[in-house]
Structure 1
Amino acid sequence: MVLVRLGSWLKHFAKGKEESKAAPPVSLPTLESEQQQIGCSFTQWYNQRQSSNWLYVDVSPAVIKHLRSHFQELVSETITAADKILAHQFNLLGSGDYIPLDPDRSETPYFSANTLQSNSSNSLSPRPRVPASPRLPNSPSYHPIDWYLEPITKLRFPQGIPHKQWNLLEMRPGSADIKLPWELGRCQHWVTLGQAYRLTEDDRYAREIADELADFMVANPIGIGINWTCTMDVALRALNWALGLALIRSCETLPPDFWQSAYSALFAHGVFIYNNLENNYEVTSNHFLSNVVGLYYLAKVFPDLPQGQIWEKFCRDSLEQEIQVQVLEDGADYESSIPYHRLVTELFLGGARLAQFDNEPLSEAYLKRLHQMVDFLVGVLRPDGLMPQVGDADDGRLHIFTRYGTWQPQDARHLLAPAALLLQESAWLSYAGVDGVWEAAWWGFDIEGRQEPEGRRQEAGGRRQEAEGRGQKVSTRTPTEDFILTDGDLPSLSKEFPQAGLTVVREGGNYLLISNGVVGTKGFGNHKHNDQLGFECHIARVPLIVDPGSYVYTSDFEARNLFRSTGYHNTLLIDGEEQNEMRPEWLFRLFETAHGKSLGFHSTQEYSEYQGQHIGYQRLKSPVIHQRRFRFLQQSGTLYIGDRLQGTGSHLLEWHFHFAPGVNVTSQGEGVYRISAQNQHFIFYTPKTLAGEVNQAWYSPSYGVKIPCQSLDLTIKAELESSNDWFFALASEVHYSSSEWEKHLSEALGAKHLRE
């Protein structure tokens, strides 16, 4: 039944694809046909494009020299990562190191623009007639990649299936996770190869890109196979191909015919994206946004072609629309996930940078909302600089310029330097670190302090004058000395983000995040977890009570539902029921019943206090409303929690508190627990009437990875009488004061006695 329900949802999600199946084949544009329209050959077009700097990643030789001399550790790490890619060694989404060698193909593939093909409903006819690309000098040593391998189960997905006939649950082998071959098929490692080529001028890295392009197109013809079944992945692959090709365009050992084949394939990606947009469901999400941003990069590659101009207008209009649809007024992505907020911020930032780099900036309204997105991201960061794992996480990125293969998926600070320079917000630079400066360089910002190259200035001069004439702000580049790198704390903050349903208090190493939002994506809940009135707490820079994360999606239904369930968050579970209805067969839906609501937030120099409620348990036979109040003493990190249940009848109450890996919890008796981590000790006080047990649980720091941790599980079978209260307190041993605790509990929570 689970498979049937998910299968029907996937079919409904692809409704537009299904309906278009019956449409007669149409003749879609090709690179050759577009060039014929403007009256030039590929060679003429390519030579003209070579004279301009079309994507921000194609940085100047002066910047490369600066990076070599000032970022030696990152240069070395980039080259090491690129060398692993040359050996086809990858580590993706919890796979561990693996080498995906195609068992069916042992020699270098032969590919030219003539080999572009697709299924009948997405014909690229007329096919371009161009000379075939010869095999490259290093090709005999190249072993084709297995683009269909799922490395964890070691199962291979079927090949040769047109994308519109694909059905995940009917066609996947066993429980293989489709996200792993998709992740490899995004080709985000091409940027690393391109960086290594620019940093070393070693042709091996450029030739690897050329060989992989031929390899991919032979194994994955346009529209055929699993790497065409999700347009988001097609779009991310396309933009990373565009960036990789821009980085190696000075390589003289690549024959001219390669470039014709490469850009024909890239153009075909654009045609596919434009004709298979993921905007045919009730809501748009990061998927459609990825389609738009990926296509926008291709519009910048083909700006002089009629189709490129159509794409550009569509993408700019869509970006302006989607940032108002998908981003809430407080700056949060509307999908109820902080990790997805990072991805969506990066996507919108990429769009803004493309427009700014071409001196045709997006609107002030767009940039203002983007500024709010980065403000929100900085606002929710933990004292260690990492993101709390509210909602789903799949480690999605636009492109990876820094530490490919070893980057920390919970770290979003790489975005802060390019965002600071684009949006002229110098405060963010203080938190970006060295990685942020490196990142900004590859976003095309002149970290060395040089101005734009003269040719680029002349090319863009007319558009800059036009923009200034319209009253639009044209940003200037910022020199290295404007980067203020510190190891200091993130800024103190005590703030409620009401639309996101998140409240954050951060002071030095003390941190509290409270989650009590509505089901996101306009009630769809694709990436929302049942975390109403859940929280994360750090004291003295030690992560103590944390959100366990997300783990996996379709490869393990039971684990997927466990990690998004009420019982796997730091909140109260009543009668074993979910806060928002969660049907096991709907892996990307929550059905809203909780309707989280803030009842007030205020902050003083001494403490910050939040009160909220949800009504998810109003649907019980004996209805209950759950209210929770937090008082956080930000200077000491002491936390008081009061739970009030309004309702009657007999109910099983279960409190769950999940601790960070490495945190040890021991019972001291009478509801007192000693928490030990990083040579520090803390006390957690709970009601004496609750039965407590320390159990093993799981924490997932990134997609596909889970590590053991401890959870404290407290239960009671209670007879509720109108209004019922339970109280908890957490503090460092050095800040424990019974009189202070009684004072705050009495004031904030209305409790006369802590231990009842």
Structure 2
Amino acid sequence: MSIPELGYRAGQFFQKKTEKRSKRNVLSGAKDWCEIFRRSLDASLSNKSCFTIPAGYLKEFQQYTTFSFFTFQIDVDKPIDWHLDISSGKKFPLIFSKDIDIRSDKYGSAKVVWEINRLQFLLPIAIKYRGSKDKRDLQLFTDILQSWIAGNSYLLGVNWYSNIEVNIRLIVWYYCWQVLFTMEEVRNNKDFVSFATDIWLPAIYEHCVYSYANPSKYSSANNHLIAEYSGLFIASCCWDFNASKKWRAYAAKGLEKQIQAQHSPNGINKEEAAEYIQFITDFFLLPFSVGRQHNYIFSGEYENRLKAIFEYIYALMDIKKGYCKYGDEDDGKVLITSADPHSNNFFSLLASASVILKDNRFKSFAGGDFDLKNWLLWGENGRKIFDALKTDRRLRPSSLYDEGHFIFRKEDTSTPVREIYLHFDAAPLGFLSIAAHGHADALSIALHLDGIPFITDVGTYTYHTEEQWRNYFVSTLAHNTVCIDYKNQALHAGPTMWLNHYKVTVEKIHKDENIEAVAASHNGYLRSGCKHTRKVSFFRNEDKFLIEDHIAVFKGEHEIVLPWHLSPGIEVLKVSDNAYELRSEACDRFCTLICDIPLNTVSGQTDPVLGWYSPSFMQKTPTRALIGTIKNKGLKEIIIKSTININ
């Protein structure tokens, strides 16, 4: 930890002590709620067009009563215990928030509690009321929000622990406010106006104060910091508190800086967590849209980096809009604008890209769906731009990024389009000194055929609970790369903390009409006396991959482990001790994996853990893994060649 960060952490410690001792009333900073409400309402009415929602969008939510997340559901029309972990039955205490232990199982999973307390189901309820005009829907919205505010006094309880959660609520509340107060029925509803003025608006102010006073810095300045700027910017555009202009300038400056700092020039997010890309991109996209609605225009550099992010998303997706799930994933979304809990937000982002950039490639690939989220962002004018773009499906080439993400791709002109997709990960471990959401997956690969995963990244499953499983899913052994002595390529020091980061070096990139090849190495095993180099070659005319692993041994005896993790549902036919045929009922093609060393099949093993897959957060299922092992026995170099023939 650097000296400046030590100073920052010390400041946090003393701030915590002061907050706990004083229990200050932050509401003293804003006194005239009626005047603030009036000014804020005027700002909402200036953007009425985006929130005059067409009937077609409203129908989807007319039966909305259930909020689904992870493996759970809650009935939104029943009382909610805001501090209960419904996965374990344990409950977080109603004490000073920053004293609460969220990094163990003591009170259960904070992640589960927070998912409910983001209050994302309030927006579907507001949209439902907009369609139904049924006062019972508006009363349900009021009751839920009033219950939350009453049960979560400022700085008390786990829901004031994390600033990202505070800011997601701010963003959700912004869209709820806009959807409701652009309705004449709501503006004329004295009871609701009184509730909004006397109860909701002060809670919004408390959230803004907390957001500004508790920034994530140094090793914590990852997607959390982006969310904090995003929530505060959006809030300060809508609600005209005395400090709003200062907050907006501060947040806008932070967003401008972080969109550059946390993405490469090619738009690749440095957290090294693929699913997080859609989550993080919304934290930049929503302020971009809200800014336009409130006459604030971000810089050209900001828009250009957004464009680069969209281009990377376009390259990362396979033809069925799947992707290699490198790094952490937790199903996080900023807004819920679909009744389908499994809706693909990457589709929505590409539709936004179509509108912003007026580029039909994104519309054509995303399938031509201008969803409700995009209506809330761009309104009728955005819909007209989108509809005017012609669909023109183009074949995408391989995308070989110097930053370390190499997407080998071959698409053809058949109907439907067929695709060979292999992702080779030669990127850094993650972002900043703790690489919180990275996995030890240097030089790992994933193979999809016609949008069906065959050789796969195994996912995430959990963060702070079930330590054994967290340790497995982030481990080198759980990825399709060489693992030496069953050790990780870096030191896993905590659920979201890596130390002794490895360095990946891209040795060579070759590309011609028939052969594409990348060679890369990492130094994660130098402390054990070894170095791993992998070369991936794609022979396009033969539909074949050659994967060559070179392990240089400088000292000692070592066990070299080469795992191949297969997606659930992949059927395995053993052709010989070192050759397996891999098939899927969902795909009319298959592949044959041939390896220099014998392979053994493992599935659902628990001691030690091996042969598991997590399709979604807090979900896991057994799957097959083909495991090859070899010892160097005094040799200074081990070379393992593996061939994947696609038929």
Contact 1:672 1:683 in 2 (8 A): no
Map Cα deviations across residues 595-643 of structure 1 (whole Å, 9 max, x no partner).
11111112223232111111222111xx222111111234664221111
From 66, 74, 77, the equivalent of 2:60 is 77
Q: Superposed, which structure 2 residues align to 1:670-749 within 5 Å?
A: 670-678=577-585, 680=588, 682-687=590-595, 689-696=597-604, 697-719=611-633, 721-733=635-647
Judge which range, 563-572 or 531-540, deviates more: 531-540
Q: Which amino acid aligns with 2:312?
A: F
Task: Note the C-alpha offset of 1:167.
Answer: 2.5
Distance, in Å, in 2 between the alignment partners of 1:211 and 1:680 is 52
SS where residue 90 of structure 1 aligns?
Answer: strand
Larger radius of gyration: 1
Task: Note the C-alpha offset of 1:200.
Answer: 2.9
Match of 1:275 in 2: 213
Q: Which amino acid aligns with 2:489?
A: Q
Contact 2:330 2:616 in 1 (8 A): yes
Confirm or deny that 1:237 pairs with 2:145. Answer: no
Instruction: Say how many residue pairs are matched.
Output: 620
Match of 2:514 in 1: 606
Task: Note the C-alpha offset of 1:177.
Answer: 1.2
Compared CA separation, residues 154 and 536, structure 1 to 2 (3 A): same
Q: Which amino acid aligns with 2:639?
A: D
Task: Note the C-alpha offset of 1:13.
Answer: 9.5
Confirm or deny that 1:370 pairs with 2:306. Answer: yes
Contact 1:391 1:528 in 2 (8 A): yes
Compared CA separation, residues 685 and 428, structure 1 to 2 (3 A): closer
Compared CA separation, residues 254 and 412, structure 1 to 2 (3 A): farther
Task: Note the C-alpha offset of 1:46.
Answer: 3.1
Task: Note the C-alpha offset of 1:351.
Answer: 1.8
Compared CA separation, residues 681 and 350, structure 1 to 2 (3 A): closer
From 201, 220, 244, the equivalent of 1:263 is 201
Q: Superposed, which structure 2 residues align to 1:564-603 within 5 Å?
A: 564-583=474-493, 586-603=494-511
Distance, in Å, in 2 between the alignment partners of 1:695 and 1:170 is 28
How big is the alpha-carbon RMSD for the aligned residues of Structure 1 and Structure 2?
2.7
Compared CA separation, residues 339 and 425, structure 1 to 2 (3 A): same
Compared CA separation, residues 262 and 384, structure 1 to 2 (3 A): same
Distance, in Å, in 2 between the alignment partners of 1:55 and 1:232 is 28
Contact 1:353 1:422 in 2 (8 A): no
Q: Which amino acid aligns with 1:498?
A: D
From 309, 323, 328, the equivalent of 1:387 is 323
Distance, in Å, in 2 between the alignment partners of 1:58 and 1:264 is 27
Contact 2:548 2:641 in 1 (8 A): yes
Contact 1:238 1:269 in 2 (8 A): yes
Contact 1:242 1:266 in 2 (8 A): no
Distance, in Å, in 2 between the alignment partners of 1:13 and 1:78 is 45
Task: Note the C-alpha offset of 1:564.
Answer: 0.5
Distance, in Å, in 2 between the alignment partners of 1:12 and 1:404 is 45
Map Cα deviations across residues 524-559 of structure 1 (whole Å, 9 max, x no partner).
211111111101112244321010111110111111
Contact 1:56 1:442 in 2 (8 A): no
From 333, 343, 365, the equivalent of 1:431 is 365
Distance, in Å, in 2 between the alignment partners of 1:217 and 1:47 is 22
Contact 1:293 1:315 in 2 (8 A): yes
Task: Note the C-alpha offset of 1:568.
Answer: 0.3
Task: Note the C-alpha offset of 1:518.
Answer: 1.8
Contact 1:54 1:301 in 2 (8 A): no
Compared CA separation, residues 523 and 49, structure 1 to 2 (3 A): closer
Distance, in Å, in 2 between the alignment partners of 1:163 and 1:14 is 17
Contact 2:577 2:598 in 1 (8 A): no
SS where residue 646 of structure 1 aligns?
Answer: strand
Match of 2:279 in 1: 343
Compared CA separation, residues 634 and 384, structure 1 to 2 (3 A): farther
Task: Note the C-alpha offset of 1:498.
Answer: 2.3
Compared CA separation, residues 426 and 26, structure 1 to 2 (3 A): farther
Confirm or deny that 1:203 pairs with 2:135. Answer: yes
Task: Note the C-alpha offset of 1:683.
Answer: 4.1
Contact 2:211 2:228 in 1 (8 A): yes
Compared CA separation, residues 340 and 406, structure 1 to 2 (3 A): closer
Confirm or deny that 1:528 pairs with 2:438. Answer: yes
SS where residue 152 of structure 1 aligns?
Answer: coil
Give aligned-pair identity as a percent. 21
Match of 1:50 in 2: 41
SS where residue 640 of structure 2 aligns?
Answer: strand
Compared CA separation, residues 692 and 521, structure 1 to 2 (3 A): same
Match of 1:498 in 2: 402
Map Cα deviations across residues 661-688 of structure 1 (whole Å, 9 max, x no partner).
1101121224121111125453434345
Distance, in Å, in 1 between the alignment partners of 2:134 and 2:49 is 17
Match of 1:507 in 2: 410
Q: Superposed, which structure 2 residues align to 1:78-117 within 5 Å?
A: 78-80=61-63, 82=64, 84=65, 89-94=66-71, 96-99=72-75
Q: Which amino acid aligns with 1:168?
A: I
TM-score for the superposition, normalised by structure 2: 0.89
Compared CA separation, residues 233 and 33, structure 1 to 2 (3 A): closer
Q: Which amino acid aligns with 2:151?
A: A
Match of 1:147 in 2: 82
Task: Note the C-alpha offset of 1:331.
Answer: 1.2
Match of 2:608 in 1: none
Match of 2:415 in 1: none
Distance, in Å, in 2 between the alignment partners of 1:690 and 1:197 is 62
Task: Note the C-alpha offset of 1:563.
Answer: 0.4
Q: Which amino acid aligns with 2:222?
A: S
Match of 1:737 in 2: none
From 375, 384, 389, the equivalent of 1:441 is 375
Distance, in Å, in 1 between the alignment partners of 2:238 and 2:257 is 23
Map Cα deviations across residues 231-260 of structure 1 (whole Å, 9 max, x no partner).
110110122112112211222446131121
Contact 1:402 1:435 in 2 (8 A): no
Contact 2:316 2:407 in 1 (8 A): yes
Task: Note the C-alpha offset of 1:430.
Answer: 1.8
Distance, in Å, in 2 between the alignment partners of 1:485 and 1:701 is 32
Q: Which sections of structure 2, spanning at least 5 residues, go unmatched?
A: 1-5, 412-418, 605-610
Q: Which sections of structure 1, spanning at least 5 residues, go unmatched?
A: 1-10, 37-41, 101-141, 450-477, 734-756
Compared CA separation, residues 519 and 670, structure 1 to 2 (3 A): closer
From 5, 13, 27, the equivalent of 1:18 is 13
Match of 2:224 in 1: 287
Distance, in Å, in 2 between the alignment partners of 1:681 and 1:317 is 50
Contact 2:325 2:459 in 1 (8 A): yes
Distance, in Å, in 2 between the alignment partners of 1:352 and 1:300 is 11
Contact 2:37 2:201 in 1 (8 A): no
Distance, in Å, in 1 between the alignment partners of 2:559 and 2:16 is 51
Confirm or deny that 1:179 pairs with 2:179. Answer: no
Confirm or deny that 1:319 pairs with 2:255. Answer: yes
Distance, in Å, in 1 between the alignment partners of 2:168 and 2:88 is 25
Task: Note the C-alpha offset of 1:171.
Answer: 8.5
Q: Which amino acid aligns with 1:605?
A: E
Distance, in Å, in 1 between the alignment partners of 2:367 and 2:310 is 16
SS where residue 611 of structure 1 aligns?
Answer: strand
Task: Note the C-alpha offset of 1:19.
Answer: 1.7
Confirm or deny that 1:59 pairs with 2:53. Answer: no
From 569, 589, 599, the equivalent of 1:662 is 569
Confirm or deny that 1:638 pairs with 2:544. Answer: yes
Compared CA separation, residues 219 and 44, structure 1 to 2 (3 A): closer
From 535, 541, 555, the equivalent of 1:629 is 535
Distance, in Å, in 1 between the alignment partners of 2:323 and 2:595 is 31
Contact 1:338 1:390 in 2 (8 A): yes
Q: Superposed, which structure 2 residues align to 1:210-229 within 5 Å?
A: 210-229=142-161
Q: Which amino acid aligns with 1:616?
A: G
Contact 1:599 1:610 in 2 (8 A): yes
SS where residue 438 of structure 2 aligns?
Answer: coil
Q: Which amino acid aligns with 2:479?
A: H
Task: Note the C-alpha offset of 1:187.
Answer: 0.7
Match of 2:527 in 1: 619
Q: Which amino acid aligns with 2:550?
A: R
Distance, in Å, in 1 between the alignment partners of 2:84 and 2:369 is 32
Distance, in Å, in 1 between the alignment partners of 2:337 and 2:499 is 38
From 482, 489, 492, the equivalent of 2:388 is 482
